[in-house]
Amino acid sequence: MEYSTNNGEHFGGNKKVGTSLLHFAEQQFIKWAVPKVPKWIHSYHLTLATIPISLAIIGFSYVATINIHWFWAVSALIALQWLTDSLDGAIGRSRKEGLIKWGYYMDHFLDYMFLCAVVIGYSVLLPDQFKYLHFFIFALFGAFMVNSYLSFAATNEFRVAYLKIGPTEVRILFIIINTLIILFGKTYLAFSIPYAIAFTILGLFIVVYRTHKYLWKIDMAYKHEKESKE
């Protein structure tokens, strides 16, 4: 089924483009899990669950400064946010709840809130001399999100995975980082942050380059089609 905007154009925000490494396994899990969600839990309940989850991530990160093993709770909350974020759209579609544009807006705005909470948690936990690096990390992750939204505005295709890396893989990366911090110490792992930033910059460059080429191709195709009609 296609959904239309007020001006008659089809809204593509409810359709995600691109597949990640774990896309197939994730979709199989969603198909299995959706029928098992109680009827009294609606899609908007799962979407809004990101708010208390994000606040709890910040809270447990503060507690982890006293006892690092509380950081396991942060990893559990990241996994819980993946679960609610994965199921909300599927439940809304299967039950025909109709929250297409609201779901698109709130889901992705709260994804940004979730990202902020995770980065704030790391900035609280890591040593002071490394905290400035979090501004770069936040800016880079934000750039990926901005690229996705700008590309959607230009193409009406909402791409969620780049270079086979999507939201699920990013959450797994956060959990791996948390585990390494707990097992090996926050100072030891902090030295790897500059290398992670360099790798992320490279990935962002590739993504932006591919996006710009794709949009250029669309514009030129439209231009040539228009000229041929004239």
Predicted local confidence at residue 18, as pLDDT: 64
User: For 10, phi and psi rounded to 5 degrees?
Assistant: -75, 135
* Among 20, 15, 27, 47, residue whose Cα is nearest residue 158: 15
Find the Cα–Cα–Cα–Cα dihedral 111, 113, 82, 48, rounded to 10°. Answer: -90
The answer to whether 169 and 20 have CB atoms below 8 angstroms apart is yes
Q: What is the pTM of this model?
A: 0.82
Q: What is the pLDDT along the chain (230 residues), one digit of tens a residue?
A: 333 444 445 665 556 666 778 888 988 999 999 999 999 999 999 999 999 999 999 999 999 989 999 999 999 999 999 999 999 989 998 988 888 889 889 998 999 999 999 988 888 887 776 667 777 887 888 888 888 888 888 888 877 777 788 888 889 989 998 898 888 876 666 677 777 788 888 988 998 999 999 899 988 988 888 878 76
Domains and CATH numbers, the chain: 17-229 (1.20.120.1760)
Residue 229: per-residue pLDDT: 75
- CA 207 to mean position of chain CA atoms: 15
